[in-house]
Amino acid sequence: MGTVLLGNLEFEPFIPKEEILEAITLLAEKINRDYQGRKIYFIGVLNGSFMFASDLLKQIERTCEISFVKVRSYEGTQSTGTITEELGLQESLEGKDVIVIEDIVDTGNTLEYLYGRFSELRPASLEIASLFLKPDAYHKSIPVKYVGMEIPNDFIVGYGLDYEGEGRNLKDLYKLKQ
């Protein structure tokens, strides 16, 4: 794995795909245990979570459905703090056991926004599954019950995550070269 150039920035190898998939297997096992006898209603947050959602759901052994919403908060390598909803939820969540699938929780602005929106729809339960979490950046109080990996406060790309729209197709995770 060499470095990768996206736009004007250089990224270096960070976490290989094998490690990502191992973390997802552990998450799926936990969810399978916790939701015995219950149907899960997953909501994937586009665009970043599409690969994670795909690999996670293949290992879910409970009855489930999935739907997607699309929001945007990032410009370049910075969170803007303003959330734009580009594709909303069409389905009712009332009485459902909902798990939101996020690629990464960084400042938590997106999560706080979505959590607020979804809890108003009166689900039976509402949990978050995020593949990555940056503990040094996250200062919100919403509990992220299912975390794949905690990572330092670096800007990362690959496995669904992008820089200016590019890099989502990379199988492994890369971080911005210092």
Query: Measured between alpha carbons, how far is 149 from 96 in angstroms, rounded to an integer?
Result: 27
- Active site annotation includes 103: no
Rg (CA), the chain: 16
- Choice among 106, 136, 154, 162 that is catalytic: 106
Residue 73 binding result from Mg ion, ligand IMP, none, given CB thresholds of 5 to 8 Å by partner type: ligand IMP
| Beta bridge partners of residue 147, listed in sequence order | 130
Q: In the complex, what is the shortest distance from the CB of residue 166 to ligand IMP, in angstroms, rounded to a whole number?
A: 11
115 vs 155, beta carbon nearer ligand IMP: 155
Q: In the complex, what is the shortest distance from the CB of residue 70 to Mg ion, in angstroms, rounded to a whole number?
A: 9
Q: In the complex, what is the shortest distance from the CB of residue 11 to ligand IMP, in angstroms, rounded to a whole number?
A: 10
64 vs 83, beta carbon nearer Mg ion: 83
Q: In the complex, what is the shortest distance from the CB of residue 155 to ligand IMP, in angstroms, rounded to a whole number?
A: 4
Residue 107 binding result from Mg ion, ligand IMP, none, given CB thresholds of 5 to 8 Å by partner type: ligand IMP
DSSP-derived secondary structure for 26-72? HHHHHHHHHTTT--EEEEEEETTTHHHHHHHHTT--S-EEEEEEEEE
Integer distance in angstroms from the first to the last C-alpha of the chain?
A: 17
41 vs 49, beta carbon nearer ligand IMP: 49
Residues that bind Mg ion (CB under 5 A): 45, 48, 103
Q: Is the peptide bond before 47 cis (omega within 30 degrees of 0)?
A: yes
Contact 111, 128 (CB under 8 A): yes
Catalytic residues: 106
